[in-house]
Structure 1
């Protein structure tokens, strides 16, 4: 009897080993297939920018998208099923991306899409796409973005939506541009504004902030004594290639990037995993050039002189006074953001005159706070509820 039991155990163990071997062989096969397809047809693995839209405005490389209403009764966001609202809020929502990163982060993946989330919550959604900057676009300045493009964008959104009031939901540098536009234009029909990880006080953000704070006085003295300024340099010499922006972003978490790469290699057999991983990687890898003229403006006015935190700054020939902003405002910071500190992001409330203003610290680093796995339940959900109360 004992021998029979041992024999059965032996047979089972043989079967288990066989199953494991088959599983390993299948995974090895699919790893080879997926690796080959990735090399030959890499776009097959990219699942961003899939939500249907119409382009309602273009100027040079910049365009504005108007997203079509969702046709589904419910959608999946993260691991949750979200019912699609049957009634649309009156006030349209304009999504404003940063400059160095592409707008794809707003429609990153079907189940992690800011665009689809707000559409499901009943908002009329528009997205600014700043376009693919090259060295030929070195002349693009803060004046271009704030004084030329933002007014034209708002005019077109109002024309298409039929509404004068608008809400803004902006990430990182997008929040700075939105605040600058509101401060310069005095646009009284900006009803609501949300900024996510926007570094208003650049002297308060980590190591870079301490360096900027330290060199502020010496830089002013050198500029006055020698009568020179970064603003006098040709824009082409300060143009920053996209790969530099990508590298700088990755260096904020070098160990994390190595771990992510190893995880990808371990999961090459899993097509769905690869789609998510490679889509997210494309956002990090394919960052956009920073125009030289914009870098000049940012370096002098925002980084060295920290003008936004002081409440006023010059854009072109116009003066932006942030105390002129009276709209409802909600600002977010990430609790693990190494690029934008909580203090730097919170300054958005201090420079405006708005009476209706709130500040929230939510989970995530600089990218995670906006598009990470915890973002839908935190920054997105809080924003949607906050806007719903103020959009009718």
Structure 2
């Protein structure tokens, strides 16, 4: 008879040794602890820094998502799914860890998954505007996705600013082949979005008066003056939850001996430590048209020479908000249901803050699972994968 033997925790001396080695390696070769963006894909289109990815089908019969095992469906959903990231975060957030990858989860659920990667913005790209993203890159990306997939209908799963860009595109283009649209933590009503929203609401009228008296607008400033470096975005994000940042650092210190913990922590930290620059022209438009004037919440927004009419959006819509999101309030995210004309629209409040609701430990059984079921019911007849 063989007795069960439980693995003993390493002694303190051993923990200190491995902690020191991991800390040194992390300092010298941090890439050894970075495990995001591991899902195989092919790049099907590129225009400057923007590119479109198509993720390859999973070869496994099942995948690990958090503590759960998810079987891989071999019957494909009819409608391709397009992932749309925000501007400040890189596309790695959709494939952040092998066991917490939105890409792998939707592939396992039988979706044909594409992703629009906005690329790495630098000061040389301060001229990029909302019109560039919405009226140029989005149509070009969808054209290539439709050619590659052989399908006209598409569904979207978008996060934060990615959801706003997708809504702008749908409103401006009135694309009849957008079948479904999922937004996660997308602040449609900027004046309802936390402390920043209250400030925007308070200064809206005074700013209009000052602008008329002085005959001056932020839109008159050169774009390079409002270009925001990625490190500023990272700092601003961390300041929304300074205690959380401190606790995270302490957890890393205590668990430095655990290589798997260090890998997960380093990869997740990359999300917040390596944010992307915001182009100056885009910032101007966000501050004026989206922020001060709150045009999206009012149902109509200027996109260059085009008027984006959000009442023209008739696709099915599912919107999420995080119950502890300090950046995007529930009211700000819920506003999307008020400005569209579709009858098939739903709103859910899910556990988590701004990042947690999208890719936290509770996201797979909440936002991901609800979205996958909701999309599957609205994606048409399934086909066999080839």
Matched, 1:47 2:47: no
Which residue of structure 2 aligns with residue 265 of structure 1? 253
Distance 1:40 1:197 in 2: 36
Matched, 1:141 2:129: yes
Which residue of structure 1 aligns with residue 26 of structure 2? 38
Which residue of structure 1 aligns with residue 218 of structure 2? 230
CA change 1:179–1:265 in 2 (3 A) is same
CA change 1:203–1:21 in 2 (3 A) is closer
Distance 2:281 2:212 in 1: 21
Distance 2:147 2:9 in 1: 63
Runs of at least 5 residues in structure 2 that lack an aligned partner in the other structure: 1-7, 381-386
Distance 1:112 1:42 in 2: 20
**Which residue of the other structure, out of 186, 193, 197, is the alignment partner of 2:174?**
186
Which residue of structure 2 aligns with residue 377 of structure 1? 365
Displacement after TM superposition at 1:226 (Å): 1.2
**Which residue of the other structure, out of 86, 102, 107, is the alignment partner of 1:98?**
86
Displacement after TM superposition at 1:243 (Å): 0.5
* Number of residue pairs aligned between Structure 1 and Structure 2: 374
**Which residue of the other structure, out of 343, 349, 352, is the alignment partner of 1:364?**
352
Which residue of structure 2 aligns with residue 160 of structure 1? 148
3-state secondary structure, aligned to 1:54: strand
Which residue of structure 2 aligns with residue 348 of structure 1? 336
CA change 1:255–1:62 in 2 (3 A) is same
Which residue of structure 1 aligns with residue 302 of structure 2? 314
Distance 1:159 1:350 in 2: 33
Which residue of structure 2 aligns with residue 176 of structure 1? 164
Displacement after TM superposition at 1:22 (Å): 7.0
Distance 2:165 2:81 in 1: 16
3-state secondary structure, aligned to 1:290: coil
**Which residue of the other structure, out of 71, 74, 83, is the alignment partner of 1:83?**
71
Query: Alpha-carbon deviations, 1:63-86, whole Å to 9, x = none?
Result: 111000000000000000000001
Distance 2:344 2:20 in 1: 56
Distance 1:281 1:182 in 2: 33
Distance 1:337 1:138 in 2: 29
Displacement after TM superposition at 1:28 (Å): 1.1
CA change 1:380–1:21 in 2 (3 A) is closer
3-state secondary structure, aligned to 1:75: strand
Question: What is the TM-score normalised by the length of structure 1?
Answer: 0.94
Pairs within 5 Å for 1:104-115: 104-115=92-103
3-state secondary structure, aligned to 1:63: strand
3-state secondary structure, aligned to 2:290: helix
Displacement after TM superposition at 1:273 (Å): 0.2
Matched, 1:303 2:286: no
Displacement after TM superposition at 1:21 (Å): 11
Distance 2:218 2:56 in 1: 44
Which residue of structure 1 aligns with residue 5 of structure 2? none
Which of 24-33 and 53-62 deviates more? 24-33
Identify the structure with the greater helix proportion.
1
Query: Alpha-carbon deviations, 1:100-151, whole Å to 9, x = none?
Result: 1111110000000000000000000001111110000001000100000000
Which residue of structure 2 aligns with residue 250 of structure 1? 238
Q: CA RMSD in A?
A: 1.2
Which residue of structure 2 aligns with residue 62 of structure 1? 50
Runs of at least 5 residues in structure 1 that lack an aligned partner in the other structure: 1-19
Query: For the pair shown, which has the larger CA radius of gyration, 1 or 2?
Result: 1
Query: Alpha-carbon deviations, 1:156-194, whole Å to 9, x = none?
Result: 000000000000000000000000000000100000000
